[in-house]
Structure formats: structure tokens, C-alpha cells
Amino acid sequence: MSKGKVLVGMSGGVDSTVTAILLQKEGYEVEGVYMKLHHKPGYHEENYTKAQRVGDYLGIKVHFHDLSTEFKEEVYDYFVESYKEGLTPNPCVMCNRTIKFGKMVEFADRLGIEKVATGHYIKCDGAFIYAAEDANKDQSYFLCEVKKEVLPRLIFPLGTWIKDDVKEFAAEIDVLKDFATQKESSEICFVETTYDEVLARHMEINVPGETVDAAGNVVGTHKGYMHYTIGKRRGFTVDGAHDPHFVLAIKPENNQIVVGKKEELEENTFEVKQINLFKVLTEFDCMVKVRYRTTAVPCHVVIKGDRAQVTLQEPVFGLAHGQIAAFYEGDKLLGGGVIC
């Protein structure tokens, strides 16, 4: 008996491939969609061919959906403009909110398909998102801005899987053996090597400027403010310094970076905007992650409108404006917002 239809986001990679296979085995009527998000030469020809190969193996239709215009407006331009403003953006979080679980869900509506699935390593019970079993691959942080209205429609079969087991599963299927050994995709799909190369297409990034201390005194030089993020400790000069210095702040209007010693990076409170919560909360204690690859720390959160005041019970270092703060209760994702 069919469990109904599900639209699977298929990238041509092993995770989305195994996702489609598992859902078909569970009894779902699977259709796939390959989403073209950017214009990297040769990228889509190769990966759409792989997605079609999976479709042929499973006997399912794989749609080609060009979302490059929407992706540029919602994700790519946000990335570039954020760096112009001296911020540290997280384009993957915005892509999940507006494209993968925004435009993809709208496409499912047009096809008359209720459920939507991807190869993300997370769990979802229809009301909340939870961290994956594989802590090294857990991607719950990147979904903290997804609209809560779509959660009941989402399926993530890989939430209980370990990545090595996914590869082993694919390797046992003759027609898909090469999927298990192909190179892992980059988190930021449109960045081939470094973000500097992307920014250089849109502006001059190599404009030397002043390095200043917290009091505003000029203490050295740097190669252009867009090369730096909060916490960076190399690539600039500090006259007469014997101890390591780190970037404390970025001043794009003056092409300046503010530097200081590590203890000056310590933060105990901060504000978050664009708050997105999966249930109504006004004041609560939880754990917060201020970057993807960091350990969550305990905090107290007070919500005021679409903003939140976060007070940490232990300090963090290198808090970057524009990055994402994700709130957790155990392995349950409560939501998140943009550090401001």
C-alpha cells in the first residue's frame, strides 16, 4: 500500500540518492527534482545527468527546476552584500529557508505532492527539527530559519543514519557504486575555492586600509576589509606587537579593521534579529550555537518582537555579526536568528 507521493530534492550526490531509494523502499511514490541554483560551468550538466541516472534506476520522474534567478536574489546577492557591509553571512541557512524549503515546497504544491524530502542529516517529527544521529554530519543548525509551517511536510530519512553506512549502502548497488566514492560537495555550492574569488567578481577587494586598536589608534595596515572575518589572526600588520592579535570588528565605511588580543574577543551578551522559532516562546533557557562548528553553550533568551537578547552563562570568542545563532533544548532545535 502506497504511503503517498513525496518529492525528493536530488543533487546527483550520494545522500539524496540514498534518500530516494529508502523512501521508495518504504512505499512512497517518489518523484525527484533537480534544482539549478547557479551558473557554474559544467556543474549542472554533470549532476543532473547523475540525478537522471538514479531516476532511471528507480523508474521515477526527475524534474529539472531552474531556480537560478530566485537563488541569486535570495542567497547569492545576500552573500555579496553582507560582505560589503562587513558582516559574516551564512548563505546555506538562507537557501534552506527561501529555496530548498521555500521554492521547492511551492514546486511540490504545483505537482500536487504533499511531502518533501532531502538528504539532510537531521530528524523531524513534523513539529520540531532534531540533531542527527551522526554528530559529525548533523545539519540541524542550517535549518533554524526554516518556516515552521512547512515542518509537517518534511521527511529526512538520513537523520538516523551514519555517513559511512550511507556510502556502504550505495556501494552495494552496482549501478550506483561510484556515488559512494565521489567527492563531498561544498557547503556553499557557488564557492569553488575561497569566498574572496566570488567577491572579486563584483568589487575591488584588494584596497589596503588601516588596522586600528579598540581605542581607534592606527597600529598597522591590512589588504582590504573584505578579506577578514571576526576572530581572524593573520593577514594584517600590528606595529611592535609581540602577542597574537585578532580581528575584533570590521568598519567597511572606513576600510578599517579593529584588532586586539584574544581576551578582547570574549562576549557574554548579544542580540539576534530575524527570530524564527518553532513554538511560541518569550523567555527561556537553552543552549546556543553561534557558528556551525562550535560547541553549544548555555544561555538565557528574552524575546522582544522579532529580536532576542541572549545572555550567555559562559563566554564565547569571535562572535560575528551576520552569523547565525541556533537555539537548542537537548537535541531539539527551537529555532534561531541572525546575530546583530
Contact (CB, 8 A) for 297 and 312: yes
Looking at the DSSP bridge assignments, the partners of residue 304 are: 307
Give yes or no: 124 in active site. no
Integer CA distances (angstroms), 31 to 5, 25, 97, 102, 117, in order: 7, 13, 21, 18, 10
Integer CA distances (angstroms), 50 to 57, 100, 332, in order: 11, 19, 34
CA angle in degrees (0–180, nearest 5) for 59-62-66: 175
Give yes or no: 189 in active site. yes
The single residue of 92, 124, 189, 286 carrying the catalytic annotation is: 189
Contact (CB, 8 A) for 89 and 83: yes
CA dihedral 310, 315, 317, 321 (to 10 degrees): 10
The single residue of 95, 124, 144, 299 carrying the catalytic annotation is: 95
Q: Is 49 helix (H, G, I), strand (E, B) or coil?
A: helix
- Count of beta carbons in the 10 Å neighbourhood of residue 68: 15
Active site residues: 95, 189
